[in-house]
Amino acid sequence: MTPTSLTQLASLGWLGGLERQRRAAGLRRELRPRAADSPLIDLASNDYLGLVRHPDVVAAATEALVRWGAGATGSRLVTGTTVDHELLEAELAAFVGADAGLVFSSGYAANLGAVTALSGPGALIVSDAGSHASIVDACRLSRARVAVAPHADVAAIESALATRQEERALVVTDSVFSADGDLAPLRELHRVCREHDALLLVDEAHGIGVRGDGGRGWVHESGLAGAPDLVVTATLSKSLASQGGAVLAAEPVRAHLIDSARTFIFDTGLAPAAVGAARGALSVLRREPARARAVLDRARDLAALGGAGRPESAVVSLVLGDPQRAYDASVRCRELGVHVGCFRPPSVPEGTSRLRLTARASLTDDELDRIAQVLGEVLDGTRA
């Protein structure tokens, strides 16, 4: 049966209507395979430290692959845990100043596992409106009562905590918000949580490797590293150039997640090669802490080229408004040799479709000169 005839079936006919609506709204998405030797200047990936092809990272991944094989072979409670997994957990925890760590198969799985295991029926979750989709989905699956607070609104979060009837409460937020690149007010949030006996969970996906002393993250920079009532989640797929996720917290939290986090218990363990790559990247970052500062320096260079404000992270957003306008601009950038991200609803609110540029520590001056030429041509007359 052909794809066309499939959509004529009563059970699938609604798909065709949705596709037409998405196309008309400029929201149709496509997969674009990239070549290993692509000549494009990369401003779309999250390889903030430029370590994906670093020889030490590749060598560490290869060594783990040869030693352990291609896969973890099972869940971590059955066969999927290796010595390398536990070494990575200890190294990550020490790096960010946490007591303990637990590695998951992805950052998405880490958020799902941590949020659901630390809340549940009879609990309240207060989530920032700008939180990542993995946090949104975790809240939906938690069976807790969920209150969504306006973005970075500490007063609204405090009000939700102060008026709750539930015995337990969890406040969840990104540390660095992925669309705009702005920073969460973590000190204020932690103060409010402590005053109201709530646990604070912070997703450091875009903070580790960029913010803090040597890239230790926005939690560390905020002076909250090791706080017993604060849980950090992280991904290994951005600054650490690999794949996977982690929860970094007090030892009792780690023990609880091993017993109750479904995305840990029932998921195959992270592949050994990914563990090796993450350990290799973390080793490079510890040895070369200036890479974190270089990311912010390059972000500020990009922001100046695009006429954006002073960025607080690796993310530089150039808001164009209309989704089709943003998509067309991203295509034109690609045609001119620069790969940029294109964020449209539901990734961002209606009317704020944008080009999302991500800085990389290894961007050269020549690349920046070319980026300036391309952005100058593409952005001329395209802003809303």
What's the pLDDT at 2? 61
pLDDT score of 3 more than 90:
no
Q: What is the arithmetic mean of pLDDT over 245-251?
A: 98
Q: What is the arithmetic mean of pLDDT over 114-120?
A: 98
Q: How many residues does the chain have?
A: 384
pLDDT digits 0-9 by tens, 312-338: 999 999 999 999 999 999 999 999 999
CA distances to 333, 337, 363 from 42, in Å: 11, 9, 9
Burial class (CB in 10 A: 0-12, 13-18, 19+), 110: buried
Edge-to-edge, what's the strand order for the sheet holding 353-358?
41-43, 338-343, 353-358, 315-321
Beta bridge partners of 15: none
Comparison of pLDDT for 30 and 128, the residue scoring more: 128
pLDDT digits 0-9 by tens, 176-202: 999 999 999 999 999 999 999 999 999
What's the pLDDT at 26? 85
The CA distance from 83 to 91, in Å, is: 12
What's the pLDDT at 111? 98
Burial class (CB in 10 A: 0-12, 13-18, 19+), 75: middle
How would residue 6 be classed by pLDDT, with cut points 50, 70 and 90?
low
List the one residue out of 305, 317, 378, 284 whose CA is nearest residue 58.
284
Domains of the chain (ranges, CATH numbers):
33-52+289-379 (3.90.1150.10), 55-287 (3.40.640.10)
What sign has the CA pseudo-torsion 100, 106, 107, 113?
negative
What's the pLDDT at 35? 87
List the one residue out of 379, 352, 297, 363 whose CA is nearest residue 177.
352
pLDDT digits 0-9 by tens, 225-238: 999 999 999 999 99
List the one residue out of 217, 29, 203, 231 whose CA is nearest residue 108.
203
The CA distance from 298 to 365, in Å, is: 10
pLDDT score of 1 more than 80:
no
What's the pLDDT at 27? 86
Q: What is the arithmetic mean of pLDDT over 42-67?
A: 97
| Residue 33 CA from chain centroid, whole number | 21
β-strands 315-321, 353-358: how paired?
A: antiparallel
The CA distance from 182 to 219, in Å, is: 14
List the one residue out of 116, 185, 121 whose CA is nearest residue 156.
185
pLDDT score of 166 more than 70:
yes
What's the pLDDT at 384? 44
pLDDT digits 0-9 by tens, 276-317: 999 999 999 999 999 999 999 999 999 998 877 889 999 999
Amino acid at 18: L
How would you classify residue 325: left for phi > 0, otherwise alpha for psi between -120 and 50, otherwise beta?
alpha
Global confidence as pTM: 0.93
How would residue 7 be classed by pLDDT, with cut points 50, 70 and 90?
low
pLDDT digits 0-9 by tens, 250-274: 999 999 999 999 999 999 999 999 9
pLDDT digits 0-9 by tens, 70-90: 999 999 999 999 999 999 999
What's the pLDDT at 233? 98
pLDDT score of 13 more than 90:
no
Output the average pLDDT for the chain.
95
